[in-house]
Amino acid sequence: GEDVEQSLFLSVREGDSSVINCTYTDSSSTYLYWYKQEPGAGLQLLTYIFSNMDMKQDQRLTVLLNKKDKHLSLRIADTQTGDSAIYFCAESMARGNTGKLIFGQGTTLQVKP
Amino acid sequence: DGGITQSPKYLFRKEGQNVTLSCEQNLNHDAMYWYRQDPGQGLRLIYYSQIVNDFQKGDIAEGYSVSREKKESFPLTVTSAQKNPTAFYLCASSFRQGTEAFFGQGTRLTVV
């Protein structure tokens, strides 16, 4: 089946690293995405990784993909108060060429000063 | 500036009324999507469209309808058949289905 799971809440102190985890079920996923949502707003694409990659780094963001375990993580280095938001992972469904995006429930990141 | 625009930002509806949410994009994207967001449940797909004059049901299409007469526009109608319509509705578009999606700012619908 199609399912993406995330923990619901993470709290860190400013300056620490944050690691947000996600598991997915479809081994045929082509792309995996991380989105950020601030209160009352739409989703902003942060980064994505192609399914044949293990790691992708983009400034303070590092994405790790363990395809064997179907586990995706987003690490935010030197977390700032402005990083407080809800973070969604999403997988692109390749099976049947539907290509639709399936989202997790979102992880609320709270950054304490 | 290229982007995706949803309107209105806030919408109030009386029970039993249909209401239409607007979504327009000038990104020249082929695919467009409507999601519903409820607290703690992530995003659930209502309808999606890969090309003009074609659309498919998502996971929670009952009580909703869409049209795709123009590439730029993908309006969503919430009908009176939708039992629990109060939610945050997000429209998105992508170059082709399955690639990175860009989101509008959302419409918060409240049934009063």
For tokens 């994207």, the residue is B29
Longest dimension (CA), chain A: 47
Pairing of strands B107-111, B87-94: antiparallel
Asked if A100 lies within 8 A of B33 by C-beta distance, the reply is: yes
Residue in chain A closest to B56 (alpha carbons) equals A98
Choosing among B6, B9, B97, which should be mutated to test the A contact, i.e. which has the most A CBs within 10 A? Answer: B97
- Share in percent of chain B as helix, strand, coil (round to 5): 0, 55, 45
The tokens for A63 are 């994405």
Asked if A94 lies within 8 A of B43 by C-beta distance, the reply is: no
- How many other β-carbons are positioned within 10 Å of the β-carbon of residue B57? 13
- Assess A8–B contact: CB distance below 8 Å, yes or no: yes
| pLDDT, tens digit, 9 for 90 and up, residues A78-112 | 999 999 999 999 988 655 445 578 889 999 999 99
Q: Do B34 and B66 meet the contact criterion of CB atoms below 8 Å apart?
A: yes
| pLDDT, tens digit, 9 for 90 and up, residues B62-103 | 999 999 999 999 999 999 989 899 999 999 998 876 678 899
Asked if B42 lies within 8 A of A48 by C-beta distance, the reply is: no
Q: Do B56 and B49 meet the contact criterion of CB atoms below 8 Å apart?
A: yes
pLDDT greater than 50 at residue A13: yes
Longest dimension (CA), chain B: 38
Q: What is the pLDDT of residue A40?
A: 85
